[in-house]
């Protein structure tokens, strides 16, 4: 049995118990699964980006990146953009949260940030996975970041990243 099945079973049990007690589970099953299976210190943005529903993405991003529920004011401010295409909406939400002073105080580290303004690997999940720390050790990534543009272009070509 894999972890996601266990998390789904736990969610179902708690949700049913809360319903029987006249309450409601305060997060979606997808959000719960992402939180339960995520590392509390490192957040992999490419995994967060697997969520295709904008409302669930927003809920999950706040819970994982800011470690709290989304407040009413923030929810209202995102309502007018909730119908944007998922990648565009997710990029706006992620960048907004990561730039915030509140996020800086969480001390959470982010990896595989496909929405980074400094992302030299195309802004796609596939691109960032090709050049992730898993396939490229951190020391090499640090060297890459310091290279002049022509050398970066050559390095990307060698790695097969567009």
pLDDT tens-digit map of 87-97: 999 999 999 99
Q: pLDDT band at 138, cuts 50/70/90? A: low
Task: Retrieve residue 92's tokens.
Answer: 């706006």
Domain positions in the chain are: 1-13+29-115, 122-162
Give tens-digit pLDDT for 100-111.
999 988 889 998
Using alpha carbons only, what angle is made at residue 16 by residues 14 and 22, rounded to the nearest 5 degrees?
Answer: 105
Of the candidates 63, 133, 132, the residue with the CA atom closest to the CA atom of residue 93? 63
Q: Are 98 and 65 a contacting pair, CB within 8 Å? A: yes
End-to-end Cα spacing for the chain: 38
């Amino acid at each position: 049995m894999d972890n996601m099945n266990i998390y789904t079973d736990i969610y179902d049990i708690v949700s049913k118990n809360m319903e029987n007690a006249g309450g409601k589970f305060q997060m979606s099953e997808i959000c719960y699964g992402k939180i339960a299976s995520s590392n509390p210190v490192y957040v992999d943005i490419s995994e967060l980006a697997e969520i295709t529903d904008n409302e669930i993405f927003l809920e999950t991003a706040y819970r994982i990146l800011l470690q709290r529920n989304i407040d009413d004011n923030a929810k209202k401010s995102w309502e007018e953009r909730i119908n944007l295409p998922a990648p565009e909406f997710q990029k706006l939400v992620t960048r907004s949260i990561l730039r915030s002073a509140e996020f800086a105080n969480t001390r959470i580290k982010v990896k595989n940030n496909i929405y980074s303004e400094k992302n030299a690997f195309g802004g796609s999940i596939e691109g960032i996975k090709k050049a992730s720390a898993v396939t490229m050790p951190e020391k090499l990534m640090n060297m890459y970041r310091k290279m002049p543009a022509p050398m970066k272009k050559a390095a990307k070509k060698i790695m097969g990243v567009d």
